[in-house]
Amino acid sequence: MKKVKRILIIAVLLAVAAGIIAGGYAFRNWPIRFRSELDRFFGEGNWESISNETKESLIHEEYISFRSHPEFSRDVPMKYKDWDIEFTNRNGEQEIWEITDYTLRVNRDKYWLLSPNRYSTKQAFVQQLMDISFGMAGEEVYRNVVREIYGQ
């Protein structure tokens, strides 16, 4: 009986640890975390996250501080994540657009935790969707101008 209790306790602890790890992954992975928003934006079932990549910023650096050893404090390249989203546009063509957490990382490095200027993750994500919207609208305007000029 004691063996069964031990095995059960270990199994529960392993399940909790696996849940924490999976939850942390889903929390950092925007296409999983904001799946319902992407469904509303691109259309349910009309998009797919085809790749993701962790990159280092050559422009922005994060300041890493060690309170107990200030001599080890330094600037390090900022890491951020890009996700490529493939979807079918209203003309039936496949398009790939990129969402990134770069803006969120820069903003959070710039503003302290309780600053009113600090973005939430959702605000940074919505800003990425707005950027995609403006890109799509710009391409549509460009196509219409080309059609008018060249009569196509």
Q: How far apart are CA 84 and CA 12, in angstroms?
A: 36
pLDDT at 60: 67
Q: What is the pLDDT of residue 77?
A: 77
The predicted-structure confidence for 44-68, as pLDDT tens digits, reads as follows 999 999 999 988 887 766 655 555 5
pLDDT over 80 (residue 70): no
Q: What is the pLDDT of residue 152?
A: 59
d(CA 48, CA 98): 12
Query: How does pLDDT run across 136-150, given as a tens digit for each residue?
Result: 888 777 777 777 777
What is the pLDDT, as a whole number, of residue 73? 58
Q: What is the largest CA-CA distance in the chain?
A: 84
Sequence ranges of the domains in the chain: 1-30, 34-150
Rounded CA Rg of the chain: 22
Q: What is the pLDDT of residues 101-131, one digit of tens each?
A: 988 988 888 888 899 999 999 999 999 999 8
Tell me if 73 sits within 8 A of 4, measured CB to CB: no
